[in-house]
Amino acid sequence: MSTEYLTAETEWKLPSPRRTAVILVILTESALFTIFVVAYLFYIGKSLNPPYPHEVLEFPWLGSILLFGSSGTIVMAEKALKKGSVSGFHLWWAITAGMGFGFLIYTATEWHKLIYKDGLTLGTNLFGSTYYSLVGLHASHVVVGFILLSMILIFSLTGKLQHRHHEHVEMISWYWHFVDGVWAVVVTVVYIISANS
């Protein structure tokens, strides 16, 4: 079929390696999280000794607002960069990083309360094991995201970030949205399903 060949010759476009790689990273991370989520769901109500989820868990309003909100501010930062407004990008990007850091502080205070007031640790019961491993795995991803956000901020403030890096910035925002999506699952599973059962 020579006609098909001719059209193929005029255009030969392949997907961007960076985007493809980030999609695959998100795929493999989702598989990792799935197992921890399954372990958490499987062990709901099977702990033999207190504390139980409904006694100690409080709905993480502050953390959720910070993290879900940061998904919006990172979009604003990207829009500013596309318009060519570097100062707008700096502002929104710094807010995003700050909200990520705020989420980590929220998690730290929550864990401090759970450990010292409620006496819940990794080895206390099944709830402790599955809770800290799932929430901790997510928090470790927030830490990685925060480091990436800070790096971009530093590069950008020192003038090393240029227009050709817009795909790098976009990939970090994809990762950040993924971390957000995982938080939505964690909130549903941990703070809604298990805290009410």
Partner 1 sequence: MPNGIPITTKEIGTEANPARPGEEHGTITSWIQDIVFTVDHKKLGLMYLGMGWLFFIIAGTMAAIIRTQLFLPDNHLVSPQAFNSLFTMHGTSMIFFVAMPMIFGLANYMVPLQIGARDMAFPRLNAFSFWLTFFGACLMFFSYVGAPGLYGAGAAPDVAWFAIAPLTSRAFSPGTSVDYWSLGLLVTGVGSVTGGINIMVTIFCYRCKGMTLYRMPLFVWLSLVTMFLVVTFLPPLSAAQIMLVLERFFGAKFFETQAGGSAILWQHFFWIFGHPEVYILVLPAFGVISEVVPVFCRKPIFGYPMMVAASVMIGFVSAGVWAHHMFTIGMNSYSITFFAFATFVIAIPTGIKIFNWLATMFGGKIRLEIPMLFAIAFLFQFLIAGLTGIMLGCAPFDWQLNDSYFVIAHFHYVIVGGIIFAVFAASYYWYPKAFGRMLNKQLGLWHFWLFTIGFHLTFDPQHIAGILGMPRRIYTYHPGRGWEIWNQISTIGAFLQAIAALIFVINLFVSARKGAVAGDDPWDGWTLEWATSSPPPDYNFETTPEVKSRRPVWDLKHPEDPDWKFE
Task: Report the interface residues with partner 1, using CB under 8 A.
Answer: 1-2, 5, 8-9, 12, 14-17, 20-21, 24-25, 27-29, 31-32, 34-36, 39, 42-43, 46-48, 122-123, 125-126, 128-130, 132-133, 137
Query: What secondary structure letter does DSSP report for 118?
Result: S
The whole-angstrom separation of Cα 155 and Cα 140 is 23
Name the residue nearer to partner 1 (CB basis): 29 or 110.
29
CB of residue 194 vs partner 1: minimum separation in angstroms? 15
Q: Which of 26, 21, 60 is nearest to 177 (CA)?
A: 26
CB of residue 59 vs partner 1: minimum separation in angstroms? 25
CB of residue 72 vs partner 1: minimum separation in angstroms? 29
Name the residue nearer to partner 1 (CB basis): 39 or 76.
39
Name the residue nearer to partner 1 (CB basis): 107 or 125.
125
Cβ atoms within 10 Å, residue 143? 14
CB of residue 28 vs partner 1: minimum separation in angstroms? 5
C-alpha pair distances (Å), 111 with each of 47, 115, 136, 139: 19, 6, 10, 11
Cβ atoms within 10 Å, residue 121? 13
